[in-house]
Amino acid sequence: MTVIGKTTSRRRLLGAFAGVAVVSATPVYASVAGFLRNAGDVRRISMRSQRTGESIHTIYWIEGKYINPALEEINYFMRDWRQNEVISYDRRNIDILAASHRLMETTEPYTLLSGYRSTKTNALLRRSNRGVASNSYHIKGMAADVRLKSRSVSQMAAAGKACKSGGIGKYNGSNFVHMDSGPVRSWRG
């Protein structure tokens, strides 16, 4: 099993996984260089919500096509549980989460801490935590905060960065990684 270590460079990481899988069709949002490296002909997502206790294990893309019922299931799973509000969650971020997970070669589902947030929920969280952005990608359904017991924050962030798509925030103190489908960037929280 290949595990991404703290000293592994992105170049070495990409080289290690270069021949693992090939994307057979161009994804809908393929304008970002390196998007969905190693995602394969079948894309799946597996998560458990820390907040609701719900789990999702679904194949949402097969041979170049998204599966609408699976996307609807993901939309519901990623909902703002405080307001019970559902939106169309950004497919690109599902792809980033799935590709990152695949790079880490683990069967453990992500633990979801936060997916979509309504503006009301985001404002509530901002009042108690100055690290919550006022114009967060969570509000747009383009971000997720996730953790894995079997991988460190650094390993998860390295996998996310290897996808070369979106933002990756490392939160070592809280033991989670933020992944979003906004501009490519990284930070430490």
Q: What does the pLDDT read at residue 18?
A: 34
Q: What does the pLDDT read at residue 140?
A: 96
Q: What does the pLDDT read at residue 124?
A: 82
Domain ranges of the chain: 10-188
Calpha distance 184→172 (Å, rounded): 20
Evaluate the CA torsion angle 28, 132, 157, 84 in order and state its sign.
negative
Q: What does the pLDDT read at residue 108?
A: 98
Q: What does the pLDDT read at residue 52?
A: 95
Compute the average pLDDT of residues 98-106: 95
pLDDT at 38 over 90: no
Q: Per DSSP, what are the bridge partners of residue 159?
A: none
Calpha distance 43→88 (Å, rounded): 18
Compute the average pLDDT of residues 34-49: 74
Q: What does the pLDDT read at residue 40?
A: 57
pLDDT at 13 over 90: no
| Share above pLDDT 70 across residues of the chain, in percent, rounded to a whole number | 78
Mean residue pLDDT across the chain: 82
Owner of token pair 């996998």:
159
Mapping DSSP onto H, E and C, the string for 1-56 reads CCCCCCCCCHHHHHHHHCCCCCCCCCCCCCCCCCCCCCCCCEEEEEEEECCCCCEE
Evaluate the CA torsion angle 79, 146, 124, 54 in order and state its sign.
positive
pLDDT at 31 over 70: no
- Give the tens place of pLDDT for each residue, 117-143: 999 998 888 788 777 777 799 999 999
The β-bridge relationship of strands 110-114 and 42-49 is: parallel
Q: What does the pLDDT read at residue 114?
A: 95
pLDDT classification of 70: cutoffs 50, 70, 90: very high
Question: Hey, what CATH topology would domain 10-188 get?
Answer: Muramoyl-pentapeptide Carboxypeptidase; domain 2 (3.30.1380)
Q: What does the pLDDT read at residue 166?
A: 95
Strands (E), 99-142: 110-114
Q: Are 24 and 41 in contact (CB under 8 A)?
A: yes
Q: What does the pLDDT read at residue 24?
A: 29
pLDDT at 150 over 60: yes
